[in-house]
Amino acid sequence: MSLIPLINVVFLLLIFFMLAGTISPSDTLPVEPPTSKQGRRLSHDAPQILLDSQGRIALDGTIIVLSQLQDRLLESIATNDSRGEEGQSALDDESRAPLTLSVKADGAVVSSQLRALLAELRALDVEQVQLLVRQD
């Protein structure tokens, strides 16, 4: 019995699964979050803000400056949130659940840069911020 047809089928299946499988995209900015001994998994898909060690900010894969955060955040929420009505700001809606954002900051980021980002989020009435860390 020849094993060559079986080997051919196995290689074809291997190639198929390599091409058909989804590989998670890498982050827009190189961010190495700090480690933590405690933590829990995220339960939902909140908009994610990246903050690298040089203080650059990215929201949902797009590098922005801090002054653009409000406009980009409103766009991100409007496209991801089906609860808001047209012409109504998702941040101003009183009947919605509290707005939660995920912040993935580099472990080497300067605290003043992180404070500036959190102050801007507070000014935008963001009620919950999840700081993403690596599990130790």
Separation CA 133–CA 107 (nearest Å): 9
40 in Cβ contact with 94 (< 8 Å) = no
pLDDT digits (tens, 9 = 90+) for 44-81: 667 888 999 888 999 878 898 888 888 888 887 777 66
Q: What is the pTM of this model?
A: 0.64
Nearest to 46 by CA among 135, 132, 125: 132
CA gap 70, 121 in Å, rounded:
8
